[in-house]
């Protein structure tokens, strides 16, 4: 079974129109649907940004409340609903991270606990059979996407962090996403 087929099977459940109608109803059933299908992806983003279990658990709850209460402000012409939810998770986590000071964020990066939690995440991802797809990316391509997407770096912050020219950040991201697009 090819990577693409496996991905599609995994994702049959993601039906934007269905989710939209469900969420509009704000029923308990809608919550079940939202949680069962999307909580792992949202939590994944949160964990990748915050890298701390307790903070991530708090953030997941806050993110769900935000999605639930701000659903009326979602604009279908600006993004997919899924992207909108992922961005709420991401931006909320980054805000949380930034409100802590930069020094202890750097410490956390080298923390044993962090390495441990990373291992846990990888095992889980292995379990759903998608990890291989990310392996198509080079280390430096993964790095730049992670900095921008999970750490909320701006283009110039990423250029500085990686010590590469500004234009290279853009071209590297473009190549990386192009590679991902071939498989999804």
Partner 1 sequence: MNIKELIESGSLELYVMGSLPPEETKEIDELRLAHKELNEEILKIEDAMIAYADTHAVKPKEELKEKIAGKLNFSVNLDLDQERVSSILIQMPGIYRFAAAASVALILTFAVTTFYYASKYHDASSQLVAMQSEKTQLANQVKFVTTESERIKGELAIASDPTKKMVALKGVNIAPNANAVVYWDKESGKTYLKIGAMPQITSDQQFQLWAMVKGKPVDLGVINKDGSTFIEMKDVQNAEAFAITLEPLGGKPVPDMDKLCVIGNV
Binding site residues, partner 1, CB under 8 A: 7, 10-11, 17-18, 20-21, 24-29, 31, 35, 39-41, 43-45, 47-48, 57, 60-61, 64-65, 68, 76-80, 82-83, 86-87, 90-91, 120-121, 124-125, 128, 130-131, 133-134, 145, 148-149, 152-155, 158, 169-171, 173-174, 177, 180-181, 183-184
Nearer to partner 1, 44 or 105 (CB): 44
CB of 175 to partner 1, least distance (A): 9
Task: Tell me how long the chain is.
Answer: 184
Lookup result for tokens 């441990």: 116
Rg (CA), the chain: 17
Tokens of residue 23, six digits? 């969420």
User: What are the backbone angles phi and psi of residue 120, rounded to the nearest 5°?
Assistant: -60, -45
Nearer to partner 1, 82 or 114 (CB): 82
Q: How far is CA 36 from the centre of its chain?
A: 17
Nearer to partner 1, 26 or 103 (CB): 26
CB of 17 to partner 1, least distance (A): 4
CB of 131 to partner 1, least distance (A): 7
Find, among 147, 44, 86, 88, the residue nearest to 96 by Cα.
88
Find, among 165, 183, 176, 184, the residue nearest to 142 by Cα.
176
User: What are the backbone angles phi and psi of residue 14, rounded to the nearest 5°?
Assistant: -80, 100
CB of 116 to partner 1, least distance (A): 14
CB of 115 to partner 1, least distance (A): 16
Lookup result for tokens 């996403």: 177
């Amino acid at each position: 079974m090819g990577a693409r087929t496996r991905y599609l099977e995994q994702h049959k459940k993601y039906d934007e129109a269905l989710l939209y109608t469900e969420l509009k109803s704000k029923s308990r059933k809608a919550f079940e649907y939202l949680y069962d299908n999307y909580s792992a992806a949202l939590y994944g983003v949160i964990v990748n940004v915050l890298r701390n279990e307790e903070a991530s658990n708090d953030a997941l709850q806050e993110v769900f409340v935000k999605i639930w209460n701000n659903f009326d402000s979602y604009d279908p012409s600006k993004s997919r609903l899924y992207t909108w939810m992922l961005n709420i998770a991401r931006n909320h986590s980054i805000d949380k991270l930034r409100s802590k000071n930069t020094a202890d964020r750097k410490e956390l990066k080298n923390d044993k606990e962090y390495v441990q939690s990373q291992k846990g995440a990888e095992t889980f991802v292995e379990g759903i059979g998608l990890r291989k797809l990310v392996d198509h990316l080079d280390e430096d391509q993964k790095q730049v996407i992670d900095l921008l997407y999970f750490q909320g770096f701006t283009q110039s912050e990423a250029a500085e962090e990686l010590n590469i020219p500004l234009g290279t950040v853009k071209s590297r991201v473009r190549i990386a996403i192009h590679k991902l697009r071939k498989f999804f």
